[in-house]
């Protein structure tokens, strides 16, 4: 587990009295300018920033350096939502690029497994005091097609839903957090019983139907808000509104 990333997001959460992670899922023309503007307007109401392929593919890693540095200057750690899912050598190269660009944590899909898969990601993250978040169950409707499939967990000798197996692997690998969609509060409760103190990050609030209160009551540590904030007429007001809800669960 990365002491650096966990401490950074905990510090920001306490400083801003917020458990809201801003997903800067900005699209269309002038994406980086839009992202910078939203970051500046909402920085006092969030505890972390998450950047995914909307911006990576639009401006490239070099184009994101200034945005990442600005988030850091505002006291906010930055997650790159890359969902790595490849063999070890490829994962190692990708992870190194992200960390060299200033990101504080990466997201991974657990399917490659540990040996010759995700072990390289975790090792380089530990060396550089960065974070790794494991995707356990996504928030979209189609996620149940495979994440909730019954599979055999050889380590425990039981048949179980795949997302619960993923949660157990995340604990074994000493992940810095797990990702479980806010659209499935029952699954959050089940994952919480498995991962204990490992933070749960929950995307899918508002636009996808996840409810902040239900998500936090179920055991999520942080809620991830993207379109709800970025596509709002007033991003700052929406971020403040969501922040104020999370304050009730501090």
User: What is the Cα–Cα distance from 220 to 19, expressed in whole angstroms?
Assistant: 10
Catalytic residue among 34, 36, 83, 126: 83
Contact 212, 233 (CB under 8 A): no
Given this model, what pLDDT does residue 78 score? 98
Eight-state DSSP code of residue 205: B
Indicate if 83 belongs to the active site. Answer: yes
pTM of the model: 0.96
Band of residue 27 on the pLDDT scale cut at 50, 70, 90: confident
Q: How far, CA to CA in Å, does 99 sit from each of 49, 102, 165?
A: 15, 5, 28
Tens of pLDDT, residue by residue over 200-249, are: 999 999 878 889 999 999 999 999 999 999 999 999 999 999 999 999 88
Given this model, what pLDDT does residue 1 score? 63
User: What residue ranges do the domains of the chain occupy?
Assistant: 3-247
Tens of pLDDT, residue by residue over 165-202, are: 999 999 999 999 999 999 999 999 999 999 999 999 99
Q: Which CATH number fits domain 3-247: 3.40.50.720, 3.30.300.30, 3.20.20.10, 3.20.20.70?
A: 3.20.20.70
């Amino acid at each position: 587990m990365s002491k650096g990333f966990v401490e950074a997001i905990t510090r920001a959460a306490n400083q801003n009295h917020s458990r809201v992670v801003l997903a800067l899922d900005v699209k269309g023309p002038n994406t980086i300018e839009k992202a910078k503007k939203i970051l500046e307007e909402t920085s006092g109401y969030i505890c972390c920033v998450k950047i995914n392929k909307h911006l990576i593919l639009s401006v490239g890693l070099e184009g994101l350096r200034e945005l990442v540095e600005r988030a850091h200057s505002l006291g906010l750690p930055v997650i790159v939502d890359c969902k790595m899912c490849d063999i070890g050598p490829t994962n190692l190269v990708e992870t190194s690029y992200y960390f060299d660009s200033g990101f504080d944590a990466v997201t991974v899909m657990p399917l490659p497994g540990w040996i010759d898969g995700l072990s390289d990601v975790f090792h380089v993250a530990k060396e550089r005091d960065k974070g790794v978040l494991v995707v356990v169950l996504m928030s979209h409707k189609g996620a149940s097609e495979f994440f909730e499939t019954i599979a055999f967990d050889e380590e425990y000798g039981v048949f179980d839903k795949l997302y619960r197996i993923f949660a157990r692997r995340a604990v074994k690998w000493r992940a810095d957090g797990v990702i479980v969609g806010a659209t499935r509060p029952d699954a959050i409760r089940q994952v919480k019983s498995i991962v204990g103190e490992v933070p749960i990050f929950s995307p899918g609030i508002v636009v996808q139907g996840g409810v902040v209160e239900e998500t936090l009551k179920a055991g999520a540590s942080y809620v991830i808000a993207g379109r709800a904030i970025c596509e709002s007429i007033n991003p700052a007001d929406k971020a403040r509104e969501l922040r104020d809800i999370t304050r009730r669960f501090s």
